[in-house]
Amino acid sequence: MDSRTNLYGLIGHPIQHSLSPEFQNKLIELFNINAAYLAFNVEKDQFENIKNTIKTLNIKGLNVTVPYKETIIPYLDKIDESANRIGAVNTIEYIDGQLIGYNTDAFGFIRMLKELNVNIDNHKAVVLGAGGAAKAIIYALEKLGIDDIMLCNRTIEKADRLLEKFNFKNKKISSLQDFQIEDDMLIINTTSLGLDENESPVVISKSVKNTILIDIIYNPFETKLIKDAKINGIYAVNGLPMLIYQGIESFKIWHKQIENPFIYYDNLYDNLLRKLVD
């Protein structure tokens, strides 16, 4: 590092579980870029200074995680079309004196489904949670042509307001405690319940047919929700592929001169998998 090293990073709270610095710095190394990527734990009472901080320190790019994906929007100079439609930002580019917001979560989710070769045809989508990550997932499901969706959240009113923005043939709202697993569901957990290995957003205690469960939490590698699903014979995976794909897409935004950073996906996945499992 020297005076010409460009700074990138991640802002959120809490932040210690994140693996983004691991693979972002690996990409920086692989492409021999004079840059560094750091994780910044930003307390809520400090957040109002975020715009001046980014510009003062000349931070070239940031990822944004819980709980700031929606909170960050008023601090930006502009946001791209997909981030505006989603209503959440997870990537910021600082260029030509402006902070520009993007959302790469939806891209990461869609690319993950393709990577896992998951067939979601004729499935009813069930999204757990109604925060910034849920918005990106719902946007992705709409793009994928899902007809039926159920949004489960602790606050029914918040879930109802969120689904109003999207076009599905059939919409349903439910509380998390009233959720009942059924056949032919595509269940995506976007809540933070699961970061504690003893917590789960919903109860899964029976076997069903043709149901898929995705918990976008990746650390711990197997949450209680995933473990409970597997015990009952349900196909269940975590969000590690989504993390990597959305992160590589952010890397592309910041480093437009790099033609295809996705060639290193397997390398990044294997490195992170070893770190999580060891």
Task: Please answer whether residues 82 and 140 qualify as being in contact, where contact means their C-beta atoms are separated by less than 8 angstroms.
Answer: no
Q: Is 189 helix (H, G, I), strand (E, B) or coil?
A: strand
Name the amino acid, one letter, at 28: I
Side-by-side strand order, sheet with 35-41? 35-41, 6-12, 59-64, 91-95, 98-102, 78-79
Residue 123 phi, psi dihedral angles, 5° rounding = -100, 145
Rounded to whole angstroms, the Cα distance separating 128 from 173 reads: 10
143 is catalytic: no
The encoded tokens of residue 82 equal 């997909």
Rg of the chain over CA atoms, in angstroms?
19
Name the amino acid, one letter, at 33: I
DSSP assigned state of 48: G
Out of 51, 55, 60, 69, which one is annotated catalytic? 69
- Give catalytic residues, as residue numbers: 69
